Amino acid sequence: MSDTTLSGSKIETETVVPAASGKKAPKGYSVSTLPGFSVIAIFTFFALYAPIMILVLYSFNAGTSLAIWEGFSLRWYAQAAGNERVIDAAIRSLILAGSAATIASISATMAALATTRTRRFKGRTMIYALINQPLMVPEIVTAVALLIVFAWIKVMTGYTSLLYLVAAHTAFCIPFAYLPIRARLETMDDTLEVAARDLYASPMQVFRRVTLPLMWPGIIAGFMLAFVISLDDVVITEFVKSAGQETIPTYMLGQLRRVVTPEVNAISTIILVSGAVLVSLFFWVSRERR
């Protein structure tokens, strides 16, 4: 603020500095300042992770009970490691999930490129909706539909193998791989791709040297998501599998129908730790690339 006074022909200006009010400048809005936020956050994390921690704890139970602690022991891990059915189901699950996730990631990458790196055309939104339609359909409906199709093929050809499960898991996993890959392409700046074309690079060179390296984190994320979804699936596997094609989830479901022992907890803990290591490795690799 300024006060101005006249003294003859001379103008005198006196600057008045307002006294400090002692108040701090207002800070930005934070949801953590809302009443009850901490309580709700703690309750949410407890509801999410308490059952998992209990499962991990009771996987080290020395007794056969799932509710009574009888001492610390690695008995059930040793039993799971020596169980040939568990090993066979684990190997089959890894082969199935790896094959389905790989095929789904390749298919999703091609679909994402076709819907983001081409000129707009009629039916583009419809294609996007059709690719993501399996996410909206109940899994039991998809399982019954695949069962009918594959049963018809088995009757016509007499051929039975793990390929039916691979095809079924691939069809179900494509939307899960497609979403992160498409999201990565939509957030990518196409300046480098345009510059490469201006430097007379062929479309294949642009894709191999510019587009693919930039979209690689999205592809890895899509592969991981598809891998986990396939590894965890029970409904589709239960409907489509043939005799002798047990996976880890279907084996665990069968055990729960018979006798429940902490061996199931031990297997679940191993799967949990493997998934955590895989996710941590992905974030570490992504950080190193950045």
In a domain, 59, yes or no: no
In a domain, 37, yes or no: no
Among the listed residues 264, 289, 272, the one whose alpha carbon sits nearest the alpha carbon of residue 59: 264
Query: What's 276's domain CATH number?
Result: 1.10.3720.10
In a domain, 23, yes or no: no
pLDDT of residue 13: 46
Q: From CA 107, how far away is CA 214, in angstroms rounded?
A: 18
pLDDT of residue 22: 52
Q: From CA 165, how far away is CA 143, in angstroms rounded?
A: 11
Residue 10 phi/psi, 5-degree rounding, is: -100, 130
pLDDT of residue 289: 55
In a domain, 11, yes or no: no
Residues with Cβ within 8 Å of residue 236, at least 6 apart in sequence: 139, 142, 143, 146, 168, 169, 172
* Buried residues in 42-55 as b, exposed as e (16+ CB within 10 A): eeeeeeeeeeeeeb
In a domain, 261, yes or no: yes
Q: What angle do CA 185, 188, 190 make, to 5 degrees?
A: 105
Q: What angle do CA 178, 180, 186 make, to 5 degrees?
A: 95
pLDDT of residue 7: 44
Q: From CA 132, how far away is CA 111, in angstroms rounded?
A: 11
- Identify the DSSP state of 169: H
pTM, rounded to two decimals: 0.77
The string of pLDDT tens digits covering residues 106-151 is: 999 999 988 887 777 777 778 888 888 888 888 899 899 999 999 8
Residues with pLDDT less than 50, the chain: 1-17, 19, 25
Which run of H or E residues covers position 14? strand 10-15
User: What is the Cβ-side half-sphere exposure of residue 64, based on CA atoms within 13 angstroms?
Assistant: 2
In a domain, 40, yes or no: no
Residue 247 phi/psi, 5-degree rounding, is: -110, 175
Please state the domain count of the chain.
1
In a domain, 53, yes or no: no
CB 228 within 8 A of CB 172: no
Helix (H, G, I), strand (E, B) or coil at 18: coil
pLDDT of residue 4: 46
Cα separation values, 277 from 55, 57, 100, 105, 167, Å? 18, 19, 20, 21, 27
In a domain, 36, yes or no: no
Which residues constitute the domain of residue 114? Answer: 84-289
Single-letter amino acid code for the residue at 79: Q
The string of pLDDT tens digits covering residues 54-83 is: 888 988 988 887 778 888 888 889 888 888
pLDDT of residue 6: 43
